[in-house]
Amino acid sequence: MDPQVLRKDFPIFEAHPELVFLDSAASSQKPRAVLEALTRFYATRYANVHRGGYALSEAATEAYEDARKTLARFLGARDPREVVFVRNATEGVNLLAHALGGRVDPGDTILVTEMEHHANLVPWQQLAAHTGAQLKAVPVTEEGRLDLEAFDRLLAEGPKIVAFSHMSNVLGTVNPVAELAKKARAAGAVVVVDGAQAAPHLPLNVAELGADFYVTSGHKMLGPTGASALWGRLELWQELPPFLTGGGMIEEVTLEESRFAEPPARFEAGTPPFAEAVALAEAARYLENAGREAVFAHDQALVRRALAKLKEVPGLKLLGPEGPDRGGVVSFYFPGLHAHDLATFLAERGIAVRSGHHCAQPLHRKLGAPATTRASFYLYNTEDDVDRLAEALIEARRFFDAWIA
């Protein structure tokens, strides 16, 4: 996998040749194949799905259902009916928190972790508040890993739902999902994995991972905004009530009541993001062709290089573990200097990074960092991008000397 060759597939780098784009964890850039799939679909095949009896609508329906099959293959699902299209990862978790709500009683426990993105925390907080359940969190160690002994202790309390991320968007930690899922299911919990950061970067096989639900974010994996695949075990989907209700998700409606459709339709009320799903399938194929093992190896090589270089910057604090369980994200800060000031300094040198709490306030609080600046890597980033970041940080160290504690 050669990032210099792949970069040519991404028109954004033609439009901005000097751009050092290190913010793919927020949202990735899109290859031409995905952009063309989207415009081609709108231009030549567009009609609403699952409704029309004419050829164009039937072809659009077929394209949408083919996209579901592609995403099922990409995720390692046994059956395409296990894939529900939602807008984004946030909607995926909200759908699950709503649909699983009937299984939670007052006094029950819902278990999350301290490293969760707010998308995999706030919906569970809300569910706990509405049901009278308690929300508990597995602590994060100083190195930025989950405390596995605490996880075992908390599991012994018999949580109804265990929800955790596959890869942290702040620390880059890749959690041992298969081990955690196996233990949590053995303890009787429904296991929800937030794969928003992992699905774009790691080879995946949800059937083997052993969770019950796996949440992804299409716009972070080269796809357009507005369509993401949410995987769940078919037998669970079949038992669960819908989240949103209305057209497209029913079997039969009278004025008094409704009978709901089988999954996945039960969870896709209204007109789904079918054009975006077709383009997302193109993104999945692009990643398969690039080689998902190769993409992760590339991310890891860049993050190793970044950690080695950034450690040399005097006073710069780095978050996250080192080792094979580290994905392509690095968050850092200079004590005393605001993360936004550092991000602005980098932006002035053509380096696009994110700054703030990255929707993980409890984690930042725990680690004693009010806010951080984050660089994240993907298949189109090069060693030169890492080197430019490191050089700019050395320059920032000198420039902000009076502020840095």
Active site residues: 359
- 119 is a site residue for ligand PLP (CB under 6 A): yes
Q: Which stretch binds ligand PLP (CB under 6 A): 39-47, 82-90, 269-277, 380-388?
A: 82-90
Structural tokens at position 98: 């709503």
Q: Which stretch binds ligand PLP (CB under 6 A): 42-50, 75-83, 114-122, 175-183?
A: 114-122
Q: Which helix (H) or strand (E) holds 251?
A: strand 250-253
Structural tokens at position 229: 């695949």
Distance in Å, CB of 122 to ligand PLP, minimum:
11
Q: Which of 194, 212, 276, 282 binds ligand PLP (CB under 6 A)?
A: 194
Interatomic CA distance for residues 268 and 370, integer angstroms? 39
Which 334-363 positions form the footprint of ligand PLP (CB under 6 A)?
Answer: 359
Distance in Å, CB of 27 to ligand PLP, minimum:
7
- 90 is a site residue for ligand PLP (CB under 6 A): yes
Interatomic CA distance for residues 95 and 242, integer angstroms? 8
Q: Which stretch binds ligand PLP (CB under 6 A): 47-55, 85-93, 292-300, 379-387?
A: 85-93
Helix (H, G, I), strand (E, B) or coil at 155: helix
Q: What are phi and psi of 355, to 5 degrees?
A: -140, 155
Which 125-164 positions form the footprint of ligand PLP (CB under 6 A)?
Answer: none
Structural tokens at position 238: 């079949």
- 217 is a site residue for ligand PLP (CB under 6 A): yes
Q: What are phi and psi of 225, to 5 degrees?
A: -70, 155
Q: Which stretch binds ligand PLP (CB under 6 A): 5-13, 87-95, 105-113, 251-259?
A: 87-95
- Rounded (10°) CA dihedral 257, 259, 265, 271: -20
- 169 is a site residue for ligand PLP (CB under 6 A): yes
The pairing of strands 228-232 and 213-215 is: antiparallel
Q: Which amino acid is at 130?
A: H
Dihedral sign from CA coordinates of 76, 235, 156, 164: positive
- x/- string (CB under 6 A) for ligand PLP, residues 26-55? x-----------------------------
Give the footprint of ligand PLP on this chain (CB under 6 A).
Answer: 26, 88-90, 117, 119-120, 165, 169, 194, 196-197, 217, 228, 359
